[in-house]
Amino acid sequence: MITNRQYCTFFLDDQCFGLDVLQVQEIVRGQPLTPVPLAHPSVRGLINLRGQIVTAIDLRERLALPPRPRDQQPVNVVVQTDDGAVSLLVDEIGDVLEVTEQQFERPPETLRGAARDLIQGVYKLADRLLVILDPKLIVSLPTARHG
Amino acid sequence: MSNSEILREFLLETQENLALLDSDLVTLEQHPTDKNTLAQVFRTFHSVKGTAGFMGLVQLQAVAHSAESLLSKLRAGELRFDPTIATALLQVVDAIRELLASIESSGGEGSADFSALIAEVDRLREAAASEASVTRPAERAPSLPPPAIEEMSGPPLIAPPMIVPAARPQTTVAQFPGPPPAGFASPSAVTLVAPDAEAIADPPAATSSEIRSTSVADSSIRVDVGLLDKLMTLMGELVLARNQILRSSAAVEEGGFLDAVQRLNRLTTELQASVMKTRMQPIGNVLSKFPRVVRDLALACGKQVRFEIEGQDTELDKTLLEAIRDPLTHLVRNAIDHGIESPELRKSRGKPEEGRLKVVARHEGGKVIVEITDDGGGIDTDRVRDKAVTAKLVSPEDAARMSRQEILRLIFLPGFSTAERVTQFSGRGVGMDVVRTNIERIGGTVDIESPPGLGTTIRTKIPLTLAIIPALIIVSGGQRYAIPQVSLLELVRLDAAQTLIGIERLHGVPVYRLRGTLLPLVFLDEQLQLAATRGAADDLNIIILHADDRPFGLVVDAIRDTEEIVVKPLQNQLKGISVFAGAAIMGDGRVALVLDVLGIAQRAHVLSNARSRVRGEQELPAAPPTNEGQTLLLFAPRGGGQMAIPLSQVARLEEFPRGSIEHLGDRQVVPYRGEILPLVDVSQALESLRSGGPARRTDRSGEASDSVAVVVYTAGDQRIGLIVGRILDIVHDQIAARSRANRPGVLFTAIVQNKVTEFLDVAAIVREVTTDLLSGTSSPMTRIQHS
């Protein structure tokens, strides 16, 4: 079936989000982060991904969700972008889900704020909603002009 | 081997040969009887012709053939090599380049018509033949396509292929007696006689792949640059992995393992050196182009230039070599176009008619120095100053105060050009600033020396390689940062007691005195907006850095050690942060940010714009301005600190009882010698200059003194009294160390009588007040932007 798509799912503040599985490179845990002063608040730092230096963006911050509890270690979802790999920090990883086109719906008009532009749509699963994010827009932060 | 592979190989090899042809032909022009070079040139044309015929490239074959025929006459001694022939042959080289470029890009020879050129070359050859037939009537000129194979059978060509060393100890090119003979410029050949000189100098087909040896020697192979780049990246990773292992091996006791680690260490170091070497290329690869550039340009400008190259063997990284090609070419062109005078002018100045242009390359202190020296008229600083003022690059006041060296550096500002006319070659106003930017982008520097009338030397310093750099690791706000060691001057550590004495404040700006020089201090944690982790009782670590020749002190929490790092660029999300040059993976596998010293200096306003960069020169401790010392009036403004006015600007010192001062609206005046003397409160004026608003009237009722010290200053026919606070002293001092002012109304800061002293910009203060008189408010135009 052409219309069936697979999504890598993960959790942020107990909500379920998904990214196209083809764009997710890998999942990494427990990477030491080097913070970058003066950067966009979403940038949590830099990680060393086998010799490659990768920017880590906190999805909670990016989606204007409440900050992660201090004792909770984030998980890196590394996505491929035009500018190389970028890591997205999430709370916990879920399964890879296959969904059908019938379950899809555009984001409701009442959805406002920072998250509005970053959400491609919603899949209505049996027990919950799966929010699909646009990786391209998520990694393109407004250019920091602090320097 | 497929057809396209053969074609590629042919293109590559021919392009290499063409690069040599340029310099060989110029050498021949000087030594017309040099048989070896002649044979070499002949052979090159011959092989181009042969391969072109084989590949079915008709135009290329015809062009190469005409040159070959002419050369066979030269080789036989029937014709003497002269500048006319050189010009024609060089044009053949250009034609071949054009054809090759077309073949490379489109696969075909294109539509360019070279029949005029061929006719011209044939004419030169025929001229030889008819000449020969006059002197030796028995011999007949050969009919058109002479059998090349027979020509080849002469003894000199049977000899094994000769390798012409690309790096000759010294190449001299001389004597271009004016423009090419008129006879050559026949109407049919006009377009070829006056080709676009830019195109000659930067032939599109002359691509990056010249390798030193002319022959495809068995001992060398061609390697794709991309592969070398990859090797270099991997090497960087290996060095880091080695560092990681070295670090963790400290905890291991087992002897065998430690031995292995040591061996790994040694091998990696050696491997690193070898891999670096694969990328090293002699600078001669770039310099060998210059004889031709010089020749063409000198000819076009009607100048005589003797060109010398030294140190062609000096090696540097291929990437850097590519990066300096254009800047160096530009500098060489400038030297001929603007530097060396016309023969007549040189004669009238008592110099030999032939100018000298010298390019010297050498290693020095881990850098490559390239000096370009001409013995021309030097840079006319008055003209530079005028141009800079006309182009509004500096204000007339600033320009008037500049030293010779500062004025020289003005030519590096964007938009500067002194060329009276825009020539084909230079004078478009995009020159020296581009040179400077390009050199600085690869971590190099440009300096200029020009003693009046004695020519100009431009010295560029270029790092050997970019890939792996030594860096100092420091800590600030609990995080590690790397500082490239090239920017590092020295480290200073102050204990708590020294900190109290050593750090002075100039209107809230911290400065430190380093051997008598005032050094602005920048706190890294402040700049990066980190939480300060430094206690008041902690030692202070100051890293003395130079950004753009401007030294400043960077205060950090701790200094670790030096490490070799591979700087990697930051991703797009972090591109806008100018204080970071990139990031690097450290020995422990963690990432550390690499600081951009220039970016930090700019962020901290240690240097802010082009103007302050030029001014920065005067702040270097090395060369104090040529003053024999001057007499200064020292005073203490109400805001605190010490200020100075040169006594030469002071007409009189007066003391007025406070009661005699009268108020006229916002202004204060005092009767003085039958006139009304307007008074300016220096402290207030400084405040108003800074804030931009009119001077506030401050409540001075609390002041103890009953009298006011006033410096009477004469501006034109107007007298003005400056209320200076307390007059301290009049001293005679040499102002050894100056530092840039940090607020408007101050010219510069220096140490006088062992105290940090600000030099009052009287002119600015007076301007502020005189516009005040005219308009009633202070005009923003009178404000001087120092930062």
Asked if B613 contacts B550 with a C-beta cutoff of 8 angstroms, the reply is yes
Q: Which residue has the higher pLDDT, B513 or A90?
A: A90
A95 with A9: CB under 8 angstroms? Answer: yes
pLDDT for position A78: 94
β-pair partners for B280: B317
**Nearest-by-CA chain A residue for B584:** A53
Q: Are B567 and B550 spatial neighbours (Cβ–Cβ below 8 Å)? A: no
Instruction: List the single best residue of B591, B603, B608 to mutate versus A (max A Cβ within 10 A).
Output: B591
Residue B130 has a pLDDT of 61
Residue with tokens 């881990």: B366
E strand or H helix at B13: helix B3-30
Name the CATH superfamily housing domain A5-139. CheA-289, Domain 4 (2.40.50.180)
DSSP per-residue codes, B529-559: TPPP---TTS-EEEEEEEETTEEEEEEESEE
Disruptive mutation site among A36, A138, A140 for chain B (greatest number of B CBs within 10 Å) = A36
Alpha-carbon dihedral of residues A22, A26, A27, A32, nearest 10 degrees?
A: -140
Q: Would you tell me which residues 230-259 of chain B have a C-beta closer than 8 angstroms to some C-beta of chain A?
A: 237, 240
pLDDT of A91: 94
Distance from CA of residue B346 to its chain's centroid? 28
Interface residue of B573, B585, B598 to substitute, partner A, most A CBs within 10 Å: B573
Check whether B758 has a pLDDT greater than 80.
yes
- CB contact at 8 A, B483 and B543: yes
3-state SS, residue B436: helix
Q: What is the DSSP string of A36-81?
A: -TTS-TTEEEEEEETTEEEEEEEHHHHTTPPPPPTTPPPEEEEEEE
Q: Give ipTM to 2 decimals.
A: 0.88
Rg (CA), chain A: 15
Q: How confident is the model at residue A27 (pLDDT cuts 50, 70, 90)?
A: very high
Using the Cβ of B532 and the Cβ atoms of chain A, whether some distance falls under 8 Å is answered with no
Average pLDDT over residues B522-538: 79
Residue labelled with tokens 């989606």: A63
C-alpha distance from residue A116 to each of A62, A113, B199 (Å): 11, 6, 55
On chain B, the residues whose CB falls within 8 A of the CB of A146 are 576-577
Share of chain A above pLDDT 90, in %: 38
Q: Are strands B540-547 and B517-523 parallel, antiparallel or unpaired?
A: unpaired
CB contact under 8 A, A38 and B573: no
For residue B238, is pLDDT > 80? Answer: yes
**What's the CA gap between B69 and B148, in Å, rounded?**
9
Q: Which residues of A touch B (CB under 8 A)?
A: 32, 34-40, 43, 45-48, 51, 53-55, 57, 83-84, 86, 139-141, 143-147
Beta bridge partners of B372: B359, B458
Q: What is the DSSP letter of B283?
A: T
Intra-chain end-to-end CA distance of chain A, in Å: 50
Residue B616's pLDDT band, with cuts at 50, 70 and 90, is: very low
Percent of chain B with pLDDT over 70: 75
Highest-pLDDT range among A137-146, B126-135, B535-544: B535-544
What residues of B are in contact with residue A47 (Cβ under 8 Å)?
Answer: 591
| Residue A46: burial class (beta carbons within 10 Å; 0-12, 13-18, 19+) | buried
Would you say residue B156 has pLDDT above 50? no
- Which one of A33, A48, A58, A138 would you mutate to disrupt binding with B, by most B Cβ within 10 Å of its Cβ? A48
- Asked if B697 contacts B685 with a C-beta cutoff of 8 angstroms, the reply is no
d(CA B396, CA B307): 39
Tally C-beta pairs within 8 A across A and B.
81
| Cα–Cα distance for residue pair B80/B128, rounded to 1 Å | 9
Q: Does B593 touch chain A (CB under 8 A)?
A: yes
Report the alpha-carbon distance of residue B4 to residue B187 in Å, rounded. Answer: 39
Task: Say yes or no to pLDDT of B283 above 60.
Answer: yes
Taking the CA atoms of B328, B329, B335 and B340 in sequence, report the sign of the dihedral they define: positive
Lowest mean pLDDT across A19-28, B378-387, B563-572, B777-786: B777-786
Question: Does residue A56 or residue B27 have the better pLDDT?
Answer: A56
How large is the average pLDDT for residues B374-399?
82
Query: Between chains, do A144 and B574 touch, taking CB under 8 Å as contact?
Result: yes
Residue B702 has pLDDT above 90, yes or no: no
Could you tell me which chain A residue has the CA closest to the CA of B580?
A: A147
Q: Is residue A19's pLDDT more than 90?
A: yes
Q: Which of B480, B584, B591 sits opposite A47 (nearest CB)?
A: B591
Q: Which long-range contacts (CB under 8 A, 24 or more apart) does B648-653 make?
A: B649/B713, B649/B762, B650/B711, B650/B712, B650/B713, B651/B712, B651/B713, B651/B714, B651/B719, B652/B711, B652/B712, B653/B709, B653/B710, B653/B711, B653/B712, B653/B727
- B495 within 8 A of B539, measured Cβ to Cβ: yes
CB nearest to A53's CB, from B477, B583, B602: B583
A3 confidence band (pLDDT: 50, 70, 90): low
Q: What is the pLDDT of residues B164-173, one digit of tens each?
A: 343 333 434 4
Chain B residue numbers with beta carbons less than 8 Å from the beta carbon of A79 are: none
In this prediction, residue B785 carries a pLDDT of 39
Taking residues B218-242, what's their average pLDDT?
79
For residues B486 and B471, what is the distance between their CA atoms, to the nearest angstrom? 8
With 80 as the cut, is the pLDDT of residue B134 above it? no
> From residue B245, how far is each of B248, B251, B254 by CA, in Å?
5, 10, 14
Q: How far apart are CA B597 and CA B552, in angstroms?
A: 10
For residue B581, the chain A residue with the least C-alpha distance is A147
Lowest mean pLDDT among A44-58, A85-99, B697-711: B697-711
Look at A51 and B240 and tell me if their CB atoms are within 8 Å: yes
Q: Return the structure tokens found at B125.
A: 């050859």
Return the pLDDT at B129.
59
Cα gap B26→B82, rounded to integer Å = 10
Asked whether the predicted pLDDT for residue B32 surpasses 70, the reply is: yes
Q: How far apart are CA B291 and CA B25, in angstroms?
A: 10
Q: At B3, is the pLDDT very low, low, confident or very high (cuts 50, 70, 90)?
A: low
Q: Return the minimum-mean-pLDDT range out of B242-251, B334-343, B415-424, B549-558.
A: B415-424
Residue of A nearest to B576 (CA): A144
pLDDT at B141 (0 to 100): 41
Residues of B (480-509) whose Cβ lies below 8 Å from A: 480
- Give A-chain residues touching B592 at CB under 8 angstroms: 34
Phi and psi torsions of B314, nearest 5°: -55, 125
How does residue B775 score in pLDDT terms, banded at 50, 70 and 90? very low
Helices (H), B402-502: 404-409, 432-441, 496-502
Once rounded to an integer, what is the mean pLDDT over residues B431-439?
79
Measure CA B398 to chain center.
23
pLDDT of residue B705: 62
Q: Dihedral sign for Cα B383, B385, B388, B392, please.
A: negative
What confidence score (pLDDT) does residue B760 get?
83
DSSP B479-510: EEEEEEGGGEEEEEEE-HHHHHHHEEEETTEE
Query: Is B577 close to A144, i.e. CB distance below 8 A?
Result: yes
Mean pLDDT of chain A: 86
Question: How far is A101 from chain B, CA to nearest CA, in Å?
Answer: 33
Over 70: is that where the pLDDT of B399 sits? yes
Q: What's the confidence (pLDDT) of residue B769?
A: 65
Q: Which two tokens stand for residue B256?
A: 């065998």
Distance to chain A for B22, nearest Cα, Å: 43
What values do phi and psi take at B147, rounded to 5? -60, 110
pLDDT of residue A90: 94
Confidence of residue A59 (pLDDT cuts 50, 70, 90): very high
Specify the length of chain B in residues: 787
Q: How far apart are CA B155 and CA B153, in angstroms?
A: 6
pLDDT tens digit string along B360-384?
998 876 678 899 998 888 888 888 8
What does the mean pLDDT of chain B come to? 73
Q: What is the pLDDT of residue B321?
A: 87
Q: Which domains does chain B have, with CATH numbers?
A: 3-164 (1.20.120.160), 226-279 (1.10.287), 282-463 (3.30.565.10), 471-619 (2.40.50.180), 630-782 (2.40.50.180)
Backbone dihedral region of B716: left (phi > 0), alpha (psi from -120 to 50 degrees) or beta? left
Q: How confident is the model at residue B117 (pLDDT cuts 50, 70, 90)?
A: confident
How distant is the Cα of A71 from the closest Cα of chain B, in angstroms?
20
pLDDT band at B692, cuts 50/70/90?
A: low
- The β-bridge partners of B698 are none
Q: Looking at the complex, report in whole angstroms how far the Cα of residue B528 sits from the nearest Cα belonging to chain A.
A: 6
- Mean pLDDT, residues B428-452 taken together: 75
Cα separation, B379 vs B449, whole angstroms: 9
Q: How far is A103 from chain B, CA to nearest CA, in Å?
A: 34
pLDDT band at A12 (very low <50, low <70, confident <90, very high): very high
Q: What pLDDT is attached to residue B39? A: 81
The amino acid occupying position B761 is D
Q: Do the chains contact at B583 and A140, CB–CB below 8 Å? A: no
Q: Given a cut of 70, is residue B193 above it in pLDDT?
A: no
Split at pLDDT 50, 70, 90, the class of A147 is very low
Question: Can you give the residue ranges of every domain in chain A?
Answer: 5-139
pLDDT value at position B483? 93
| B478 strand-pairing partners | none
pLDDT score, position B487: 83
More confident residue, B455 or B131: B455
Tell me which residue of A8, A35, A12, A130 sits closest to B577, measured CA to CA.
Answer: A35
Question: Closest partner residue to A57 among B573, B580, B583, by Cβ?
Answer: B573
Subunit contact A46:B591, Cβ cutoff 8 A: yes
Whether chain A has a CB inside 8 Å of the CB on B572: the answer is yes
pLDDT of A56 above 70 = yes
Percent of the residues in chain B that have a pLDDT greater than 90, as a whole number: 5
Residue at B575: amino acid letter? K
- Which of A54-63, A94-103, B558-567 has the weakest average pLDDT? B558-567
- B592 in contact with chain A, both atoms CB, cutoff 8 A: yes
Report strand pairing: A84-90 vs A52-58: parallel
Cβ of B576 and A147 within 8 Å?
Answer: yes
Residues 6 or more apart in contact with residue A145 via CB below 8 angstroms:
B576
Q: What is the mean pLDDT of residues B19-28?
A: 81
Whether residue B187 is predicted with pLDDT greater than 80 in this model: the reply is no
Residue B152 has pLDDT above 90, yes or no: no
Q: Answer yes or no: do B573 and A47 touch at CB < 8 A.
A: no
